[in-house]
Amino acid sequence: MSILEIKNLSKSFDLKDKHEINVLLDVNFSVQKGECFVIIGPNGSGKTTLLRILGLLENPTGGTIFFNDKAITGLSAKDKVKFRRKFSYVRQKPVVRNVSVFNNVAYGLKIRGMRYRDYTEKVNAIIETVGLKGMEKKNARALSGGEMQRVAIAMNFVISPELYLLDEVSANLDQLNHKLLDDFIIKIKQDKTKTIIICTHDRFEAIKYADRIGVLTNGTISQIGTPEEVFTSPKDEFTAHFVGYENIFTGIARVDMESGLTSIKMDDFCIVTSEHKEGPVKLYIHPESIIIAKNPPENVSSLNLFKGIVEEVRELGNTCHVIIKCESSTFLSTITKVSLIKLDLHPNSEIYINFKATDVKCL
């Protein structure tokens, strides 16, 4: 069931010299309940405007947004409040009120009519989770940037909304805060009644969190698909240029005590990585790291060696993309034009691919 449906959404701003600037043009997509939908796009592509419109902080110029099949565009101020209370909008730059940490975090619950004795426990618990225990009485504006971001996360997450709108939230986070946000997002993702929309320009973040990715370029969604689809077959040149190419897979990781390496079990084969991981992981291999050989290579150090069939060859000037099918998975390898001629690759050619365990990165 789709919780959010965006139809023909557009937004333009009037500039002072009477010129109109179109920030969003005919944006269409829908988000399923329980899904983590990541909108990826370069700076200035309209991500923040889109998220602000979804958060009912800005009115679109045209188009409609449906939340649970109800149109939420063009609402009265009173109705907007009703829907905003189901959402949570975390911005890139944290903004806190000039009151204590506790009061900042409690604010959303307080204005929903909750009593002090009913929210105290909840607020204190989340303050502890974000690592600010002992700072409850401190003025939130006197905190460091990272601590302030943690207050912002706590105050937006404590209200436990149906829809989370996160705008480049990890852009300014240090490692500790990144981990904290990760834990929160993983927890929210487990709750299938909660839906997350994340805007980011960081492709690795998109791969890590997304169930599906929407690529926003020049104010329109140019492609929607799973991370695997978007990163191995970008729809147009611009998307390809922006997202880059990656081989993305999901599997279950297990550390082999003897070798100290991790083997990741996928549907019909295993990939070995030097990173230590356990449990379900997403992994990516850069296309330039995948080496193609006509015959089974001998004396190579690569731990990952697979037999496959060339599915497609895309020539891109000096370089070529070779799409290779190994069992049920598809790999993308970037090679030079010279190599292509030397290897004499055509669709349906039988080849071998290999890559080093150190080239397999886990997210």
Partner 1 sequence: MFEEIIEGILEALHLIFTFDLEIWNVIGVSFRVSLTSTFLAALFALPIGSFIGLRTFRGKKELTNLINTFMGFPPVVMGLIIYLLLTRNGPLGSLGLLYSTTAMIVAQFFLALPIITGTTKAAIESIEPDLKETILSLGANEFQLWGELIKHSKKSIIAGFLVAFGQAISEVGAVMIVGGNLRWETRTFTTAIVEQTRRGDFGMAIALGTILIVLAFITNYFLTRMQTKD
Contact call for residue 178 and partner 1 (CB under 8 A): no
Contact call for residue 164 and partner 1 (CB under 8 A): no
Minimum CB separation of residue 179 from partner 1 in Å reads 24
Contact call for residue 251 and partner 1 (CB under 8 A): no
Q: Which of 93, 178, 241, 342 touches partner 1 by CB under 8 A?
A: 93
Minimum CB separation of residue 131 from partner 1 in Å reads 21
Contact call for residue 88 and partner 1 (CB under 8 A): yes
Q: In this chain, which stretch among 75-83, 177-185, 310-318, 324-332 interacts with partner 1, using CB under 8 A? A: 75-83
Minimum CB separation of residue 113 from partner 1 in Å reads 10
Minimum CB separation of residue 85 from partner 1 in Å reads 4
Contact call for residue 85 and partner 1 (CB under 8 A): yes
Contact call for residue 142 and partner 1 (CB under 8 A): no
Minimum CB separation of residue 19 from partner 1 in Å reads 20
Neighbour count for residue 216 (Cβ, 10 Å): 26
Q: Which of 21, 59, 70, 112 touches partner 1 by CB under 8 A?
A: 112
Contact call for residue 155 and partner 1 (CB under 8 A): yes
Q: Which of 81, 171, 186, 341 touches partner 1 by CB under 8 A?
A: 81
Minimum CB separation of residue 80 from partner 1 in Å reads 8
Minimum CB separation of residue 142 from partner 1 in Å reads 11
Contact call for residue 60 and partner 1 (CB under 8 A): no
Contact call for residue 102 and partner 1 (CB under 8 A): no
Cα separation, 281 vs 249, whole angstroms: 8
Contact call for residue 55 and partner 1 (CB under 8 A): yes
Contact call for residue 159 and partner 1 (CB under 8 A): yes
3-state secondary structure of 48: helix
Contact call for residue 212 and partner 1 (CB under 8 A): no
Q: In this chain, which stretch among 74-82, 235-243, 250-258, 290-298 interacts with partner 1, using CB under 8 A? A: 74-82
Contact call for residue 84 and partner 1 (CB under 8 A): yes
Contact call for residue 107 and partner 1 (CB under 8 A): yes
Asked whether the beta carbons of 349 and 272 are under 8 A apart, the reply is no
Contact call for residue 170 and partner 1 (CB under 8 A): no
Contact call for residue 208 and partner 1 (CB under 8 A): no
Q: In this chain, which stretch among 22-30, 143-151, 153-161, 288-296 interacts with partner 1, using CB under 8 A? A: 153-161
Q: In this chain, which stretch among 11-19, 93-101, 305-313, 337-345 interacts with partner 1, using CB under 8 A? A: 93-101
191: which residues sit within 8 A by CB, 6+ positions away?
Answer: 34
Cα separation, 356 vs 344, whole angstroms: 24
Encoding tokens for residue 331? 């790999």
Asked whether the beta carbons of 67 and 111 are under 8 A apart, the reply is no
What is the SS3 string spanning the chain?
CEEEEEEEEEEEEECCCCCEEEEEEEEEEEEECCCEEEEECCCCCCHHHHHHHHCCCCCCCEEEEEECCEECCCCCHHHHHHHHCCEEEECCCCCCCCCEHHHHHHHHHHCCCCCHHHHHHHHHHHHHHCCCCCCCCCEHHHCCHHHHHHHHHHHHHCCCCCEEEEECCCCCCCHHHHHHHHHHHHHHHHCCCCEEEEEECCHHHHHHHCCEEEEEECCEEEEEECHHHHHHCCCCHHHHHHHCCCEEEEEEEEECCCCCCEEEECCCCEEEECCCCCEEEEEEECHHHCEEECCCCCCCCCCEEEEEEEEEEEEECCEEEEEEEECCEEEEEEEEHHHHHHHCCCCCCEEEEEECHHHEEEC
Binding site for partner 1 (CB under 8 A): 52, 55, 57, 77-78, 81, 84-85, 87-89, 91, 93, 95-98, 107-108, 111-112, 139, 152, 155-156, 159
